[in-house]
Amino acid sequence: MTRRHRYGCSAAATERSLACQAADGTPPYRAFASALIKHDLLRGTSQVHRLPAGAAASEAVFVPSDPYDGRAAEDNGYAIAYVHDLDRGASDLVILAARDFTGEPVARIHLPGRVPPGLHGSRVPDA
């Protein structure tokens, strides 16, 4: 918090405005082309982890592999995000290796229900 970082992560969805236009208030997730994006703020580049059609991702939270190693690279850890799986009607907790951001998830934990997009979270190490 409040210090410069080399990396940042965001969630992206095209045609999200369609969700606001749904007559019954139900977002049309099939219109979403969702992805998680890792931004290298030093180099001005990005890596995109594309999600299946119909998936809706929340913003990712970064968890370092070793929060007490002050010498570790800033992206030595995991990006964790909730991803709504339209076909199951429920969400997954998706865990990506931050250094292999475009690769397959390290883990995908199926949750029993839907976690709505926009649920925010933070990871704070023990004080």
Sequence-distant (≥ 6) Cβ neighbours of residue 10 within 8 angstroms: 36, 37, 39, 59, 60
- Say yes or no to pLDDT of 22 above 70: no
Strands of 45-50's sheet in order across? 7-13, 34-40, 45-50
Q: What pLDDT score was predicted for residue 1?
A: 57
Q: What pLDDT score was predicted for residue 121?
A: 58
Task: Flag whether 118 is in a domain.
Answer: no
Whether pTM > 0.85 for this model: the answer is no
Q: Per the structure, how many domains does the chain have? A: 1
Task: Flag whether 127 is in a domain.
Answer: no
Residues 9-37 have a mean pLDDT of 63
What is the domain extent for residue 83?
7-110
What percentage of the chain reaches a pLDDT higher than 90? 39
Q: What pLDDT score was predicted for residue 11?
A: 86
Task: Flag whether 58 is in a domain.
Answer: yes
The 10s digit of each residue's pLDDT in 78-126 is: 999 999 888 888 999 999 999 999 999 999 999 999 887 665 656 566 6
Task: Flag whether 126 is in a domain.
Answer: no
Task: Flag whether 95 is in a domain.
Answer: yes
Q: What is the mean pLDDT of the chain?
A: 81
Task: Flag whether 80 is in a domain.
Answer: yes
Task: Flag whether 20 is in a domain.
Answer: yes
Unique residue bearing structure tokens 């250094």: 99
Task: Flag whether 51 is in a domain.
Answer: yes
